[in-house]
Chain A
Amino acid sequence: MEFILVIVAVILAGLIGWMLKQSFNTQPWVAETVGESANQAPLGASAKVVGLTTLLAVITSFFALIVSAYALRMDFGDWIPLAEPRLLWINTILLMLASVVFQWTRNAAVRDEASRLKPGLILTGVLTIAFIAGQLIAWRQLGAAGQYISSNPANGFFYLLTGVHALHIIGGMYVWARATLRVTGGAAAAAVRESIELCTVYWHFLLLVWLFLFGMLLST
């Protein structure tokens, strides 16, 4: 459980550090006219950014818990490692490309270059769907080799981790699909800019999660 404890400690340290700054040296019982105190402002970000950041903290906790369970289970001494399909390397490259293209699209949205949004979003979607299809093919390859989810604990964790990761991407594709529909329907860059920006952050985040999980699966 060390891993989740470190994650929780980092998240709470960030929150508590910020709250310390807000509360340090304040005298709550002093009444002042609005505007006199420097501590009266909310965060300088939009609500959606704060909401997404909170959601990413929750998802981080979710994956960190599975990773902790994985590590705890590995320690029991009867661990049978799984040989991961080579296809995962190609899938990883697809997901990295999806992130790169999404970032390019986001930059276009920020620079108000509306013509680039449609090809960018569609290419991102194609690459992401290819990643998920690739993961499914990897499952089938394992199944063909007789490695089922119920064969042993290492297999169970492999299918679980890849499965819930793919589900999180599919969840993100709902927001991606809405943005894409609006762009194909002729929405201006400014109108879809925020959802594209937030979606890009989500894609990068899930790429990072995948790189971590892939490294862990390969090395164990």
Chain B
Amino acid sequence: MAFVAIADRDHEIEHHDPQTFITKYVWSQDHKVIAIQYGGTAIFVGVIALVLSAMMRLQLGFPDSFSFITPENYYQFVTMHGMIMVIYLLTALFLGGFGNYLIPLMCGSRDMVFPYMNMLSYWVYLLSVIILVISFFVPGGATGAGWTLYPPQAIMSGTPGVDWGIVLMLASLGVFIVAFTMGGLNYVTTVLQARCRGMTLMRMPLSVWGIFMATVLGLLAFPALLVAAIMMLLDKTIHTSFFMPAISSMGGDPGYVGGSPILFQHLFWFFGHPEVYIVALPAFGIVSDLLSTHARKNIFGYRMMVWAIIAIGGLSFIVWAHHMYVSGMNPYFGFFFATTTLIIAVPTAIKVYNWVLTLWEGNIHLRVPMLFAIGFVFTFIHGGLTGLFLGNVTIDLPLSDTYFVVAHFHMVMGVSPILVVFGAIYHWWPKITGKMYNETLGKWHFWMTFLGTYSIYLPMHYLGFQGVPRRYFAMGNTEFLPDSAQDLNAWITMSALFVAATQILFFANVIWSLTRGPKADPNPWHATTLEWQTPDTPPKHGNWGHDLPEVHRWAYDYSVPGYDDDYIPQNVPPDKAPAGRDHGVHH
């Protein structure tokens, strides 16, 4: 009855089979090519943002030693580093990259339901990246307003990039949101509409659940950023007063009347907090699948994991003002938002327990993806626990403007998702490219990155407790700080440079694998999910050859008692499982 949509797709696929190099690899409508385009572009801008952070650290660790880092440059580095990492790297990579690659393959579809719009989504995203990069080269340079772009300072003279940088930043965000919406409509509709026969919602791998819920959050929350960007653009260009109060600037009157800077903060964080989970939920989903596959055990509490993802998604809309405790809000609001913030820790903690319980007595294979997944559990617990501190108003007020906050959010939404990104790339690399990577290089990459990031962010918490202020170009006359604070800063800088340099191992591995990597087995991890059961590796256009797969079981039939193999793929019927058992419950 309801499989009409799938039949339609079969018909359509035959008609837009790519013929030339251009339609196959450039103007491609194939979700796998679009995923690689998204991923490559996101990693490219991510490297720019990584270099920016190294420059910031040079200044902080060794103040006044580098003449090319002025206070203006420093603020530009901070702003662009934050914005690129959160939006143009993590959001684009998890949803545009992994979302595009995994949704159709894991759901057993031939492609996204609107392939043309999917292609358009990438090219519009690329446009937003180009606008962003151009802003480095316009007169005055990129904006230095801080990644939160708070008015009034964001668009007043004195802030770097106030003439062109901020305009291009806001325009780029608007274009990005259009691109995301086109992609997001595809991801949601494909999950709802184009799953193969037998793929019930409750049989979907958790990766798909995480990406799906993150997309729903993005579709509802990104409009808040769009509204804020449009209003600020109008304030900047035609002098409306949405966010700009009557104010004097440099002894003159810029002509604003009656706007509200707090209004911007509400809009920004109404987007900004769900954004944390737009990045985190795909990471949660992917890490669940990595842990289960490489521990050869079914995920502990599958239904609980699904409902925790949904609960976190819903709750993420009512915690935004915990970013605004220092804005002078009504204390009752602070109480409300502190309470909701602590409540959201419950489903999150459930997920962490379930990951650990999945590992418990598992047949753990410490391959590179598994190392990154376990590393994530560590860094996420660490960053999550400091979040419980900062969620309380009375603790947040003194710590809000210190490096404690920088350490917290880098641990929880910088390092943790990036570890999952690497884990996921190593995990799906054999399927994406058909080649194996170098295991030794990968392990070195993991250990140096994992230990290196701890060496950056663990000491940073102590700097925060000491009261080292964040956002400062130089510490200045801060007599309450011991001299050792600067020594620690130098250490953190050394560690940061070390971790940044270590990433060369990853790119070296990519090149090694593409040039001399051995041919990969179609299912090297003996995984159950559908993307490993394709007739070709890497999968061809249309993914499944002549017949779509049919799904008979969930994605976590690992080490099922009574079977020869320690995994049963999702498309194996009950009567054809290796030990030839009859229908029935396996546990």
Contact = CB atoms under 8 A, between A and B. Distances in A.
Interface of A: 1, 4-5, 8, 11-12, 15-16, 19, 22-23, 26-35, 37, 39-47, 50-51, 54-55, 57-58, 61-62, 65-66, 69, 72-73, 76, 78, 149-153, 156-157, 159-160, 164
B446 interface: no
B270 A47 contact: no
A47 B194 contact: yes
Given A43-B2, A65-B224, A150-B238, A58 B181 contact: yes
B189 interface: yes
B226 A34 contact: no
B450 to A, nearest CB: 33
Contacts, number: 197
21 contacts: A15-B216, A22-B202, A23-B201, A28-B554, A29-B553, A29-B554, A34-B550, A42-B3, A42-B194, A50-B193, A51-B114, A51-B185, A55-B185, A57-B219, A61-B221, A72-B260, A149-B240, A150-B240, A153-B260, A160-B230, A164-B230
Given A39-B202, A42-B3, A153-B259, A33 B238 contact: no
B231 interface: yes
B3 A160 contact: no
B586 A51 contact: no
A60 to B, nearest CB: 9
A1 B242 contact: no
Contacts of B310: 16, 19
Given A16-B310, A72-B266, A58 B189 contact: no
Interface string B183-212: 011101100111101111111000000000
Nearest to B568: A31
Contacts of A44: 1-2
A149 B238 contact: yes
A161 B266 CA distance: 19
Contacts of B231: 69, 156, 160
Contacts of B574: 31-33
Question: Nearest 5 A-B pairs (CB), nearest first?
Answer: A31-B553, A62-B223, A41-B2, A156-B240, A34-B198
A156 B197 contact: no
Interface in B55-82: none
Contact of B5 (A47, A54, A62): A47
B403 interface: no
B583 A32 contact: yes
B242 A54 contact: no
B33 interface: no
A69 B227 contact: yes
Given A33-B552, A54-B184, A61-B220, 18 more contacts: A22-B202, A28-B202, A29-B298, A29-B585, A29-B586, A32-B552, A39-B202, A40-B198, A43-B193, A50-B188, A50-B192, A51-B114, A54-B188, A61-B221, A61-B223, A61-B224, A65-B270, A156-B234
Nearest to A37: B200
Nearest to B318: A5
Interface of B: 1-6, 8, 113-114, 181, 184-186, 188-189, 192-195, 197-203, 216, 219-221, 223-224, 226-227, 230-231, 234, 238-242, 255, 257-260, 263, 266-267, 270, 298, 302-303, 306-307, 310, 313-314, 317-318, 550-554, 556-557, 568, 573-575, 577, 583-587
A66 to B, nearest CB: 6
A28 B304 CA distance: 12
Contact of A58 (B220, B241, B568, B577): B220
A34 B223 contact: no
Contacts of A45: 193
Given A30-B585, A42-B195, A156-B241, A54 B219 contact: yes
A166 to B, nearest CB: 14
The residue in B193, B219, B302 that gathers the most chain A C-beta atoms within 10 A of its C-beta is: B193
Contacts of A73: 242, 260, 263
Contacts of B317: 5, 8, 12
Given A34-B550, A47-B194, A61 B219 contact: yes
Contacts of A156: 231, 234, 240-242
A40 B263 contact: no
B240 A41 contact: no
The residue in B199, B227, B314, B318 that gathers the most chain A C-beta atoms within 10 A of its C-beta is: B227
Contacts of B216: 12, 15
The residue in B186, B201, B583 that gathers the most chain A C-beta atoms within 10 A of its C-beta is: B201
Contacts of B306: 23
A73 B231 CA distance: 13
A19 B242 contact: no
Nearest to A36: B583
Nearest to B320: A1
A46 B6 CA distance: 10
The residue in B220, B231, B270, B551 that gathers the most chain A C-beta atoms within 10 A of its C-beta is: B220
A41 B200 CA distance: 7
A11 B242 CA distance: 28
A45 B2 CA distance: 8
A66 B263 CA distance: 11
A27 B185 CA distance: 29
A39 B193 contact: no
A73 to B, nearest CB: 6
Contacts of A15: 216
A78 to B, nearest CB: 6
Contacts of A37: 200
Given A33-B573, A54-B188, A65-B267, A152 B257 contact: yes
B7 to A, nearest CB: 11
B202 A57 contact: no
Contacts of B550: 34
The residue in A19, A42, A76 that gathers the most chain B C-beta atoms within 10 A of its C-beta is: A42
Nearest to A64: B223
B220 A8 contact: yes
B183 to A, nearest CB: 12
Nearest to B585: A30
A160 B234 contact: yes
A57 B1 contact: no
A146 to B, nearest CB: 14
Contacts of B6: 42
A62 B583 contact: no
Given A19-B310, A22-B201, A66 B227 contact: yes
A65 B221 CA distance: 9
A43 B188 CA distance: 12
Contact of A1 (B239, B266, B584): B266
A152 B198 contact: no
A51 B303 contact: no
A220 to B, nearest CB: 15
Contacts of B221: 61
Contacts of B257: 151-153
Given A16-B310, A29-B556, A34 B267 contact: no
